[in-house]
Amino acid sequence: MQNFEETGINSQIIKAISELGFEKPTPIQELTIPYLLDSKKDLVALAQTGTGKTAAFGLPILHQIDKNSKKTQALILSPTRELCMQISNDIKTYAKYIENVRIATIYGGASADKQIAELNKGCQIVVGTPGRVLDLVKRGKLRAGSISYMILDEADEMLDMGFKDELDSILETTPADKQTLLFSATMPKEIAKIAKKYMREADEIAVGDKNMGAENVKHHYYLAKARDRFKTLKRIIDSHPQIYSIVFCRTRRDTKEIADKLIENGYNAEALHGDLSQAQRDYVMNRFRIKHMQILVATDVAARGLDVTDLTHVINYNIPDEAKTYIHRSGRTGRAGKTGISVILLHSRELYKLREIEKRVGKKITRKMIPTGKEICERQLFNLIDKVEKIDVDQAQIDPFMDVIYKKLSWLTREELINHFVSIEFNRFLSYYKNAPDLNINENESDRKEKDSRKGRKRRDNDNFTRFFINIGSKKKLSPVKLMGLINDQTKKRDIQIGKIDIMKTFSFFEVDKSFENDVVSAFKDFKYKGMNVSIEVAKEKPQNDRSNNNRDRRKKFSNKKSRKRRDKR
């Protein structure tokens, strides 16, 4: 498909998207738009964030709705307020030349009365977050019984944020004969369950393989000692003078600390985390969108809904515990046909996690050497020279001052003038990186450590880690990321090495560095999680021969059972 006209979308929509610069459909649009125009079957569409999914479902829905009816015909659910507003604004722009089409946007944290008033005017399309949508459905203000289209956008993100119950409740109120469209970047088991329960023999469209990273993103990792992680981050930033990046951290505390350190060191950075008010959050996100800052340090939850198309880098300050987290993060760069780089900061004992992520995302993550002080100074210097060479000169504006400037600088030779000019911008880097040590770990040493970690991980874990039992699990919406956040928040330490995490339904197990065993026990004393008293204790290890004993017991019982049956037959 060469252009949007070939899709069959009406001319009013084509005119609007042409003004936006839409020329050729993206791969997900090329597959999805004709399908939705020709078929009423349910659809699961898998594609990375930033591949044009809003237009993929928004354009065919706009083409097909009855604009003369004021009934709600399409309900679009998205995980966050920001993403909800973005989808709504995009569809309004696509509908610019279509008369009598109304789109309502409903989300928490804003006046429900205003949103109800908007619904009462009659809106063919409603875009909302699960919590507020369910609230208005229960109050009878949003009538989902008339919809023809149900769209779950970023469905995996909604499940990660704990909206499964809300999704179930909303979907149960919708007509059985509606067309359900599920859009997701990954296909975890929970998404498959929703598709099976609420969709009718859904077809599946995938751009790339399931759970794989975007094609136009390069994947790099830097290997350093744990204590040199922040220094490594600084060197990566300094070696890319035009960097425009999100740095992802595990916890709110990490986010604040990293951002504060960057700001103290003179970087144009801000933190985005759950402790910010909505007004503060909007302010930070807007500054980042318009490039008034280069580095945004954020948690995964806080960054959801942030729509930026030209990030140069995504930096994982810690390696994510789940491959799908890495997929979502890396998908924030390399959008709209541009290339991007996804970076992981590692120490040698985390290499086995890297191999697991490579296997899941189907991408080779390439090791890059941490830049030396000399390399950084060279890149910064050439960047400065490029800026000077390419700067637009407004001669009329500066002419009145040139005589004074010439006179002031006349005592300097040409070479001296250039030296002074370069030094005024460059001295900070020369001073900071003078005699800077090499932060790279010896490659042979890291290979040996990786082999050791693969061969003897169980032994090492037993030696260096304490395994804990905690009486909360997935039923309380606990996830590995949330558990790590609890450990960091309760112990008020950010240097605890966390090992394997196993989340069960009503309880969980986790491992921490043995030297912090007492800290963990005391930190969770008298702690409550969602109103429940939390019990935490060192887990008892199972004897090695437990399994063989159990098998012998089962064989013995089975043998006795067969003997009894034989006797009964006699």
Domains of the chain from N-terminus onward: 4-206 (3.40.50.300), 217-372 (3.40.50.300), 374-432 (no CATH), 456-538 (3.30.70.330)
Q: What mean pLDDT, rounded, does the chain reach?
A: 83
- Per-residue pLDDT tens for 329-385? 888 887 766 789 999 999 878 888 888 888 877 788 999 999 998 888 888 888 888
Query: What pLDDT score does 349 carry?
Result: 80
Asked whether 33 and 59 are in contact (CB, 8 A), the reply is yes
The per-residue pLDDT for range 276-296, each reduced to its tens digit, is 887 888 889 889 988 999 999
| DSSP per residue, 528-559 | EETTEE--EEEPPPPPTTHHHHHHHHHHHHHH
Give the Cα separation of 255 and 77 in Å (integer): 29
Distance of CA 413 to the CA centre of its chain: 53
What is the pLDDT averaged over residues 176-187? 86
Over range 105-125, report the average pLDDT: 91
3-state secondary structure of 432: helix
Cα(42)–Cα(178) distance, rounded to whole angstroms? Answer: 8
Contact call for residues 185 and 155 (beta carbons, < 8 A): no
User: What is the reported pLDDT for 384?
Assistant: 82
Q: What is the pLDDT of residue 460?
A: 44
What per-residue confidence (pLDDT) applies to 208? Answer: 59
Predicted local confidence at residue 514, as pLDDT: 85
- Give whichever of 124-138, 341-355, 514-528 has the largest mean pLDDT: 124-138
Q: Three-state DSSP class for 504? A: coil
Supply the pLDDT for residue 280.
Answer: 86
**DSSP, res 227:** G
Q: Is 306 exposed, middle or buried (0-12, 13-18, 19+ CB in 10 A)?
A: buried
Whether the pLDDT of residue 119 is over 60: the answer is yes
Q: Give the C-alpha separation, 229 to 497, whole Å.
A: 14
pLDDT the model gives residue 552:
46
Question: What is the pLDDT, as a whole number, of residue 315?
Answer: 96
pLDDT at 310 over 60: yes
Question: What length does the chain have?
Answer: 570
**pLDDT score of 295:** 96
Looking at residue 428, its pLDDT comes to 75
Q: What does the pLDDT average to over 491-496?
A: 72
Nearest Cα neighbor of 243 from 187, 295, 198 is 295
Mean pLDDT, range 67-74, rounded to an integer: 92
**Longest distance between any two alpha carbons in the chain, whole Å:** 122
Pick from 58-67, 212-221, 246-255, 508-517: least confident: 212-221
For residue 104, is pLDDT > 90? yes
The pair phi, psi for residue 407, each rounded to 5°, is: -65, -40
Contact (Cβ atoms closer than 8 angstroms) between residue 498 and residue 546: no
Q: Which helix (H) or strand (E) holds 198?
A: helix 189-198
Complete DSSP assignment for 54-111: HHHHHHHHHHHS-TT--S--EEEE-SSHHHHHHHHHHHHHHTTT-TT--EEEE-TTS-
pLDDT digits (tens, 9 = 90+) for 212-229: 455 678 999 999 998 899
**pTM of the predicted model as reported, rounded to 2 decimal places:** 0.61
pLDDT tens-digit readout, 26-68: 888 989 999 999 999 999 988 776 678 899 999 999 999 998 9
Write down the H helix ranges in 433-545: 443-455, 457-464, 480-491, 517-523
pLDDT of 211 over the 70 cut:
no
Q: What are phi and psi of 150, to 5 degrees?
A: -120, 120
With 80 as the cut, is the pLDDT of residue 457 above it?
Answer: no
